[in-house]
Every structure is written in C-alpha cells, then in structure tokens.
Amino acid sequence: MISQPKHILWLLLGVNLLNYLDRQVLYSLLPLIQLDLLITDAQAGRLASAFMLVYMLAAPPIGYLADKNGRKFWITLGIGLWSLATAFSGLARNYSALFLARSAVGIGESCYGAVSPSFVAEQFPASRRGSILALFSMAIPVGSALGYIAGGFLGQRWGWRSAFFAVGIPGLLFAFLAAQLREQRPAAPPQRPSPISSYLNLFRVPSFLLVTLAGAAMTFALGGFAVWMPSFFHRQWGMSVGQAGTLFGAVTVASGILGSLAGGWLSDWGLRFNSKSYFLVSGFGLLMGLPLAILTLLIGRPHWAAGLLFMAEFFLFLNMGPLNAIIVAVTEPGSRSMAFAANIFVIHALGDAVSPAIIGSISDQMGLKTALIAASLTLALASAFCFWGTRYYDRDARHV
C-alpha cells in the first residue's frame, strides 16, 4: 500500500508526465500517419478535436461518480484505459480505428485529470498546496515536450506504430502502482443533490467561478500560442518548421518548469502575509505576462523574441499551482473531483477548443501577428478575474 504523501506525489507526478506525453505524441507522428493511412489534413485535425471533445464531455460525469464512490478506482481505470488506447493506436489499420482509439484516450485522461489534483493536494497541509500543485502541474509543459520529442525520435527510427507501443505500454505499470494507493474517503453529504444541481452549486461559489473564468481566458491565449507561435516564427523569421518547433518547445519547457515552481513557492510564502496570495500571485503574473507576450510579437530580432517569450511564459506559468490550490480551498472535500471536472470542461470549451480556429480566421483577414496580439488581450481579462476573486476568497474558504 502506497501511503506516504511524498510517495503518492512522486507516483502521480510521474503519471501526469506520461499523461501529457501520451496526449501530445500524436502530433509529431502525424506526417508519418498521414503518409501511411492516406488521410487528409482535415481528418488529421479531427483526431485532435476528437480527443479534446471526449475529454471535456467525459470529465463531468466521471467527477460526480468519483466523489460519490471513491477516486482511486477512477485514477487506476483512467491510467489503464488511456495507456491501452495509446498502444492500440499503433494497431490501427485505418482512420476510423485510429479515431476511436484517440477518443478512448480522451476518456482515460479525463478520469485522471478530474480526480488526481485533489487527491494529491489532500495529502498535504493547506499551507503547502500551492507549491505541491505547482510541482504536479509542471508535468504539463514537460510532458508535452517529451511527447513531441519521443514521437519524433521513435517514429523516425522505428515507425509511428512502434512509437505508440513504446509510450503506451509503460502506463500499465503505473496503473498497477496506482491500484496500491491509500485512499482517505472524504465525507459525502448525507443527501447528495442530482448531478446537475451539484455542478450548479459549484458555480454559485464566486471564487470557484472566477478562478475557472480566469483559467479559460488564460487557456484561450496559451492554447492559441501553442498552435500558432511556431508558425509565426516560421513566417516572421524564415525558420524551418523544425527550428521553429524546437525553439518554441525549448522555451516553453524551461519557462514552464521555472515559472510553475516559482509560482507555487511564492504563493505559499505569501500566505504568511496575505490570505489571498494565490489569487494575487496569479493575477500579477498574468498582468506582467501580457506586455511581454505582445513585445514578443513586435520585436524585430528573433533572439530577442525568444528571450521575451521565455519571460512572458515564466510569468504566465506562475499560476499553475495557485489556481488549482484555490479550487481545493473553496470546494468541499466531497465535491473536489467534480470541481476539477467542471474546471476542465469550462477552460477548454471557452479556451483552447475555440481559440486556434478564431486566431486562424483573424489571421486570414489581418495577418498572424495581429491575430496573436488580439488573442493575448484575453490575459488582461484573466488577470482581472483573479483580482476580482480576492473579494470573495476568504469568505468562500471559511465555508469549507
């Protein structure tokens, strides 16, 4: 039985790295898959859309069931399901089979994404949750970069099918280890409302509503950057596709690690002086990242642009731990899986599920630089939501 908090943290951090690796590995393999299965760009794009749509829609019912019946089961099931689905992606002989496999990856990862943050956070005292969740969330940029790197390396050497096998099968070991986790079941309310009422009750908590809207506004911008910034470097500076992708990936990994860890430490340290530290650190980070992101797009030299991009993403990643810690702080223990599930649904539905297409449409009319600058402005909205949240945080946290 795995019961020590630090052991639980390191196990689920490792799983979270694999989570994002398996999610992103497809994108570096697409040229090989398209050549082999003879699929169009539109079909390739639908593979990514299928994952995100299923991921969003599966999270709310899974979050409700996890809070009702226990979270360890869903963590274990999710790891096993997405790992098997990733491995089975390598067996796909046609587009339909690959589409179904990637949809199944979305179901598995929604089990984990909706349940694991609260499971990790509850192993530690409230005063450390910002830094703990920052460390846990560091897996997002690192795991994503590893997915691109592993997919490109393995696919080039042994083919795209072998790449899916190589990154999918190790997850079965993690699923076995997750089954050994100790679970302390939070007390559920004696009469649990219906699922719809339960989710509506979450959004009646002002701090939860505002932290979710802040996450959506930030995800709108960052999701757009993730898709279009390599293309911007390619078009603006004449870099090769490989050079542009490598530059953006390297900057994102470095800024993601440093920014996430710094934001977690700074927000926990700030609790000594101000109980609203999680909202304040996040709000100031988003506010400082905005002009740096715009300067990245306006500067006339690629090396300066890379440096400004690093600084912008460093400040934007400060909120990775604090915003998740707010969700834990202002929701009842028996509803936290639902809270993260609702957060997942909203931030993606209003964020990176729509922003790449909107940016592309603006780019067709006014150019990619203008489109990315326009998308950057949502960071100001995200910052405003964080500062607005400081009005309600103390009251909402006391109710838990």
Q: What is residue 306's three-state secondary structure?
A: helix
pLDDT of residue 78: 93
Among 270, 266, 12, 273, residue whose Cα is nearest residue 124: 12
Domain layout of the chain by residue ranges:
1-181, 195-400
DSSP string, 194-242: PHHHHHHHHHTSHHHHHHHHHHHHHHHHHHHHHHHHHHHHHHHH---HH
Residues paired with residue 181 on neighbouring β-strands, in sequence order: 2
Mind listing the pLDDT tens digit for each residue in 53-74? 888 889 889 988 888 878 889 9
Distances in Å between the Cα of 364 and the Cα atoms of 108, 223, 315, 370 are 36, 18, 30, 10
pLDDT of residue 387: 97
Number of other residues whose CB lies within 10 A of the CB of residue 398: 10
The CATH architecture one would assign to domain 1-181 is Up-down Bundle (1.20)
Mind listing the pLDDT tens digit for each residue in 381-398? 999 999 999 999 999 988
Measure CA 237 to chain center: 29
Among 68, 27, 20, residue whose Cα is nearest residue 47: 27
**362, 231 Cβ separation under 8 angstroms:** no
Q: What is residue 31's three-state secondary structure?
A: helix
- Entry pTM: 0.83
**235, 302 Cβ separation under 8 angstroms:** no
**90, 162 Cβ separation under 8 angstroms:** yes
Residue reference for tokens 């960071």: 379
User: Do 1-181 and 195-400 come out as alike in CATH topology?
Assistant: yes
CATH code that applies to domain 195-400 = 1.20.1250.20
pLDDT of residue 308: 94
Mind listing the pLDDT tens digit for each residue in 308-361? 999 999 999 999 889 999 999 999 888 888 898 899 899 988 988 888 878 888
**168, 86 Cβ separation under 8 angstroms:** yes
